[in-house]
């Protein structure tokens, strides 16, 4: 190899090292900048982010905002899977109207899409800062399946009409049978799987004893009150009453047979 060739290769290696160093430093600088922005960044989110709903039940989610300054108006589109969820209604949350009257506009564009907006009507113009609920959306769970709750075209404006940047956090809904508490291989706890079987029965038993201080598997503990399916004097089904008892067991048994098309005996 000639001296010229050795020199050329040395230059290439040095150039490559320099480029790599520049890329690393640039990525570190980007990360630092992003970290600074995110520390005080406004967040618009579906809350709760993960929902388990039962077939033929009605449930609601909130559209929340966090760490905003001088919010004067907002608007967004929300989309869902209409084969799993049916839209019921959209109501304004208390955040923007906490300082006075607002112009609230919900428009259902399609069976799976709604546009909602809200503008403060307070004079002189005044914005709201902090965190709170922008809207509450109610759905009916119609069929087994999964549905994403996806926001798009999220627009926040301050009192000067300037756009407020934000991070958007979407949600997800799992629609399953009443009594489907857990997936296969329990314990540990896993998400419901659309079946009511021995895993759900084991979960129910753990939940029953846990209310009397008999410790269930640690992985099950956060979800145990899912087994509180109904109130007293079942049937009919009534709102959960904070107890896991024979009424919940009867409701669970009915749900088990219902998945095979066997109606309850009343």
pLDDT tens digits, residue range 184-218? 999 888 888 888 999 999 999 998 988 888 887 77
Q: How far apart are CA 253 and CA 179, in angstroms?
A: 8
Backbone angles phi, psi at 227, to 5 degrees: -75, -10
178 vs 81, residue with greater confidence: 81
Whether the predicted pLDDT of 47 surpasses 70: yes
Domain ranges of the chain: 1-39, 43-176, 198-258
Number of neighbouring beta carbons within 10 Å of residue 108: 13
- What burial letters (b/e) apply to 236-263, b meaning 16+ CB within 10 Å? ebeebeeebeebbbbbbebbbebbeeee
| pLDDT tens sequence across 246-265 | 899 889 888 888 888 887 76
* CA distances, 204 to each of 38, 124, 227, 242 (Å): 41, 57, 6, 14
Average pLDDT (60-87) is 97
Element (H, E) at 74: strand 58-79
What does the mean pLDDT of the chain come to? 85
Number of neighbouring beta carbons within 10 Å of residue 103: 12
| pLDDT in the model for residue 67 | 97
Whether the predicted pLDDT of 74 surpasses 80: yes
Cα–chain center distance at 162: 28
* Helix 246-258 with 198-210: angle, nearest 10 deg: 170
Q: Tell me the H-state helices in the chain.
A: 3-39, 198-210, 246-258
Strands 50-54 and 171-176: parallel
> How far separated are the first and last CA of the chain, in Å rounded?
94
| pLDDT in the model for residue 211 | 87
| pLDDT in the model for residue 31 | 39
Cβ neighbours of residue 28 closer than 8 Å, sequence gap 6 or more: none
| pLDDT in the model for residue 24 | 37
Average pLDDT (232-244) is 89
Pick the CATH number of 43-176 from 2.60.40.680, 3.40.190.10, 2.60.40.10, 1.10.3720.10: 2.60.40.680
């Amino acid at each position: 190899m000639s001296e010229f060739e050795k020199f050329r290769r040395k230059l290439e290696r040095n150039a490559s090292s320099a480029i790599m160093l520049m890329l690393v430093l640039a990525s570190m600088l980007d990360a630092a900048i992003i970290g600074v922005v995110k520390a005080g960044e406004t967040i618009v989110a579906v809350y709760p982010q993960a929902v388990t709903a039962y077939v033929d039940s009605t449930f609601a989610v909130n559209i929340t905002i966090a760490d905003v300054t001088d919010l004067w108006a907002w608007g967004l589109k929300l989309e869902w899977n209409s084969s799993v969820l049916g839209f019921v209604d959209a109501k304004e949350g208390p955040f923007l109207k906490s300082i006075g009257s607002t112009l609230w506009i919900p428009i259902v564009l399609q069976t799976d899409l709604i546009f909602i907006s809200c503008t403060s009507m307070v004079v002189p113009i005044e914005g709201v800062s902090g965190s709170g609920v922008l809207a509450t959306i109610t759905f009916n769970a119609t069929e087994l399946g999964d549905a994403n709750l996806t926001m798009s075209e999220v627009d926040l404006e301050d009192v000067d009409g300037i756009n407020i940047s934000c991070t958007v956090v979407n949600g997800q809904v799992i629609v399953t049978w009443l009594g489907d508490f857990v997936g296969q291989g329990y314990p540990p706890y896993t998400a419901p799987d659309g079946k009511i079987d021995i895993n759900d029965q084991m979960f129910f038993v753990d939940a029953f004893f846990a209310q009397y201080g008999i410790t269930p598997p640690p992985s099950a503990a956060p979800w145990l009150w899912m087994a509180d399916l109904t109130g007293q004097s079942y049937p009919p089904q009534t709102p959960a009453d904070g107890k896991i008892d024979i009424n919940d067991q009867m409701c669970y048994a009915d749900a088990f047979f219902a998945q095979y098309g066997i109606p309850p005996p009343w």
